[in-house]
C-alpha cells in the first residue's frame, strides 16, 4: 500500500466511521483528523490538537482499527500524531482571493497554502505554546537565555516565521527527495551532531523551504529553549545594512552569534555581496565553533554559486550537501493527493493525473494549478472533471483539452526516435540498442499515462510487471545522473505531447 491510495482509503474509512459513531462524536473527534501516510503495516493519522490525539487513543482507537480493517482487509496499526495545527502565528496573511469561494460541502473549509512570497513578508511570531516542547536532551549547549519564557523562534523585523503547514508530516517522500528528507530528519532530531552545516539545494519550488521549516518546527518541538532563527539571505543582507545605517552593527553580530540554530534560505543571493559574505563568514565560524547547527538552502550546489568567496564555499562543503530533484509522476500525484486531503478538497484521480502529468518540475506550480481548478469549479459552479481542468488551466497548457496519451503513441515515437522497428521494441531481444529504448518507452508509459504496471508489461510483449518496475527505476536513476539522457527524455516527452 502506498500514499497514492491513502485518500481513497481514508474516504471509505470516514464513511464507515460516520455509520458507526454518533454524529456528535464523528464531527468532534473524527472529522478534523488528517490522514498522513500508509504503509503495509501502519496507517498514520494526524490530529490538530494534543487533546484530540489523547481522546482518540483512549476512546476511539478500536472503532478506527475496525473501520480501517473493514476497508483495507488488513490489520494495520493506527498511529496518531498530534500536528498542533490549531495554533496559528499571530498575523497570518489573508488567504488569496481565489481560494475563498470554494464549493460548498467538503470544500467549504478549504484554504490554499500560503503563497510563499506573501507569507515571507509577515512578521508573525510563535509562542511557546505553539510548539510544545518534548524533553529529549541534546548535547548541544543552550545559548544563555535571559527569560526562559521567551519565544523560541526568534523573530525580529527581518527574520521570518515558520509556516505551520511546512512540517515533516505534510512532506511527501519520493525518490527525488528521499535522501534530503532523511538527512533533514536526522538534523532535526540531533542538531549539531550529525551534519553541520547541512546544505540543501535544488530547483525552484521543489521543497527546500518546506524541509527547512520542518527542521525548525521539529527542533523547536523537541528541544525546548534552543534559539532558532530562520531567515533568507536577502533579509540577512537587509538587516546587516540597516544595522550599519543605524550605527549599530554590534547588535546585529550579537544577535546572530548568540543563537543555537541558524536556518538561511536561498543563500545564492549572497553572491556578489562581499560585505555580507564577510559578515556571514564570521557568523558561520562563531556558530560552528560553538557547536551550533547551521542549515542552508540554495538553488544550486556551493561550487556553482558564482562569486561566492572560496573560504565560504569550502565551509559549506564541510558538512553534508544534499539535493532535491524534480519529482516523478507518482510523487507528483501523491503530493496533489496529500494537498487535496489537507485542504479538504474532493478531486477525482483523473484530474490529479491530468495536472501532475503536465507540471513536472515545480511543486509550487503544481499546487497552484490544483487551486486554480478548484477555484474555477467553485466560481462557475461546475463539477470538476478533466474538461473543466483543461478550461481552468488553458493559459498554462495552451493546447486545450488534453490529448489522450496512449502507450501506442509512446511506443511509436520512441521507436522512430531510436530508429528501431516497432516489433523489435516489443520483442524479447535484449541487445542494448533495443533494450535501452524499450526501457525508456516503459518509463514514459509509467510517467505519462495512468496505466497499471501489469498492463504496461502486457503491452511490451507480455512482460512481467517487475520488468516495468526495474526499467522505470533504472531510467529514473540514470536520468538524474546523465544530462544527455535527461535531455533525450525531455525531447521525447515534447514530441509525445505535441502530437
Ligand X SMILES: Nc1ncnc2c1ncn2[C@@H]1O[C@H](COP(=O)(O)OP(=O)(O)OP(=O)(O)O)[C@@H](O)[C@H]1O
Strand partners, 81: 46
Stretch that binds ligand X, among 8-16, 65-73, 203-211, 396-404 (CB under 6 A): 203-211
* Residue 161 binds ligand X, judged by CB under 6 A: no
For residue 402, give the nearest of 352, 365, 361, 366 by alpha carbon.
352
267 binds ligand X (CB under 6 A): no
> 295: left (phi > 0), else alpha (psi -120 to 50), else beta?
beta
Q: Strand, helix or coil at 295?
A: strand
Q: Is 72 annotated as a binding residue?
A: no
Name which of 17 and 36 has its Cβ closer to ligand X: 36
Q: How many whole angstroms from its chain centre is CA 73?
A: 30
- Kindly tell me which of 321 and 492 has the beta carbon lying closer to ligand X: 321
Among 153, 229, 263, 335, interactor with ligand X by CB under 6 A = 335
Q: Concatenated DSSP letters for 149-187?
A: TS-SB---SSS-PPPTT-SGGGPPP-TTTHHHHHHHHHH
Rounded CA gap, 233 and 237, in Å? 6
Residue from 34, 85, 113, 264 in contact with ligand X (CB under 6 A): 113
- Regarding 177 and contact with ligand X (CB under 6 A), the answer is yes
Residue in 165, 185, 230, 447 with CA at minimum distance from that of residue 322: 185
208 is in an annotated binding site: yes
C-beta of 20 vs 299, nearer to ligand X: 299
Neighbours of 223 (CB within 10 A): 24
Residue by residue, DSSP assigns 187-220 as HHHSTTTS-SSEEEEESTTSSHHHHHHHHHHHHH
If binding is defined by CB under 6 A, does position 214 make contact with ligand X? no
Told to check if 90 binds ligand X by CB under 6 A, we report no
Q: Which is nearer to ligand X, 166 or 236 (CB)?
A: 166
Under the criterion CB under 6 A, does residue 329 sit at the interface with ligand X?
A: no
Q: Residue 209 annotated as binding?
A: yes
Q: Is 172 among the residues that bind ligand X (CB under 6 A)? A: yes
Q: Which is nearer to ligand X, 140 or 333 (CB)?
A: 333
Give least dist CB 225 to ligand X, A. Answer: 27
CB of 370 to ligand X, least distance (A): 11
Nearer to ligand X, 340 or 442 (CB): 340
Interface segment toward ligand X; rule CB under 6 A; list 244-252, 361-369, 437-445, 450-458: 361-369
* Cα–Cα distance measured from residue 424 to residue 434, given in angstroms and rounded to the nearest whole number: 7
Closest CA to 327 of 355, 351, 350: 355
205 part of the interface to ligand X, by CB under 6 A: yes
User: Quick check: 204 binds ligand X (CB under 6 A)?
Assistant: yes
Residue ranges binding ligand X (CB under 6 A): 113, 116, 166, 170-172, 177, 202, 204-210, 266, 299, 335, 363-364, 367
Amino acid at each position: 500500500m502506498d500514499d497514492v491510495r491513502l485518500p481513497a482509503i481514508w474516504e471509505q474509512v470516514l464513511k464507515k466511521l460516520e455509520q458507526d459513531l454518533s454524529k456528535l462524536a464523528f464531527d468532534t473527534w473524527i472529522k478534523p483528523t488528517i490522514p498522513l501516510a500508509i504503509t503495509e503495516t501502519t496507517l498514520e493519522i494526524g490530529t490538530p490538537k494534543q487533546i484530540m490525539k489523547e481522546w482518540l487513543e483512549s476512546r476511539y482507537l478500536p472503532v478506527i482499527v475496525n473501520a480501517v480493517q473493514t476497508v483495507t482487509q488488513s490489520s494495520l496499526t493506527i498511529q496518531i500524531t498530534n500536528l498542533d495545527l490549531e495554533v496559528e502565528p499571530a498575523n497570518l496573511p489573508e488567504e488569496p482571493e481565489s481560494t475563498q469561494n470554494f464549493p460548498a460541502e467538503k470544500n467549504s473549509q478549504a484554504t490554499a497554502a500560503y503563497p510563499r512570497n506573501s507569507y515571507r513578508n509577515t512578521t508573525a511570531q510563535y509562542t511557546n505554546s505553539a510548539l510544545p516542547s518534548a524533553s529529549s536532551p541534546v548535547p548541544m549547549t543552550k545559548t544563555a537565555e535571559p527569560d526562559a519564557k521567551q519565544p523560541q523562534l526568534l523573530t525580529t523585523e527581518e527574520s521570518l516565521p515558520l509556516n505551520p503547514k511546512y512540517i515533516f508530516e505534510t512532506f511527501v517522500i519520493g525518490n527525488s527527495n528521499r535522501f534530503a528528507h532523511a538527512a533533514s530528519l536526522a538534523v532535526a532530531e540531533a542538531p549539531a551532531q550529525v551534519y553541520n552545516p547541512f546544505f540543501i539545494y535544488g530547483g525552484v519550488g521543489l521543497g527546500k523551504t518546506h524541509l527547512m521549516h520542518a527542521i525548525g518546527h521539529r527542533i523547536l518541538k523537541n528541544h525546548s529553549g534552543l534559539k532558532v532563527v530562520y531567515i533568507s539571505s536577502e533579509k540577512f543582507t537587509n538587516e546587516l545594512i540597516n544595522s550599519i545605517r543605524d550605527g549599530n552593527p554590534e547588535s546585529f553580530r550579537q544577535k546572530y552569534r548568540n543563537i543555537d540554530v541558524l536556518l538561511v534560505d536561498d543563500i545564492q543571493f549572497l553572491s556578489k555581496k562581499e560585505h555580507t559574505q564577510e559578515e556571514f563568514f564570521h557568523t558561520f565560524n562563531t556558530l560552528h565553533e560553538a557547536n551550533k547547527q547551521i542549515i542552508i538552502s540554495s538553488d544550486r550546489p556551493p561550487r556553482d554559486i558564482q562569486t561566492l568567496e572560496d573560504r565560504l564555499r569550502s565551509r559549506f562543503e564541510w558538512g553534508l550537501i544534499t539535493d532535491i530533484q524534480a519529482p516523478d509522476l507518482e510523487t507528483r500525484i501523491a503530493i496533489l493527493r496529500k494537498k487535496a486531503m489537507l485542504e479538504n478538497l474532493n478531486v477525482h484521480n483523473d484530474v490529479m493525473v491530468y495536472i501532475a502529468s503536465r507540471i513536472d518540475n515545480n511543486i509550487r506550480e503544481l499546487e497552484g494549478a490544483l487551486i486554480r481548478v478548484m477555484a474555477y469549479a467553485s466560481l462557475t459552479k461546475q463539477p470538476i472533471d478533466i474538461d473543466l481542468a483543461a478550461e481552468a488551466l488553458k493559459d498554462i497548457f495552451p493546447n486545450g483539452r488534453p490529448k489522450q496519451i496512449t502507450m501506442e503513441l509512446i511506443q511509436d515515437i520512441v521507436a522512430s526516435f531510436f530508429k528501431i522497428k516497432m516489433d523489435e521494441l516489443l520483442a524479447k531481444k535484449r541487445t542494448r540498442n533495443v533494450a535501452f529504448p524499450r526501457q525508456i518507452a516503459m518509463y514514459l508509459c509509467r510517467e505519462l499515462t495512468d496505466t497499471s504496471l501489469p498492463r504496461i508489461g502486457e503491452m511490451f510483449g507480455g512482460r512481467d510487471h517487475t520488468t516495468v518496475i526495474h526499467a522505470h527505476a533504472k531510467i529514473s536513476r540514470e536520468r538524474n545522473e546523465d544530462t544527455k539522457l535527461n535531455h533525450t527524455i525531455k525531447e521525447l516527452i515534447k514530441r509525445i505531447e505535441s502530437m
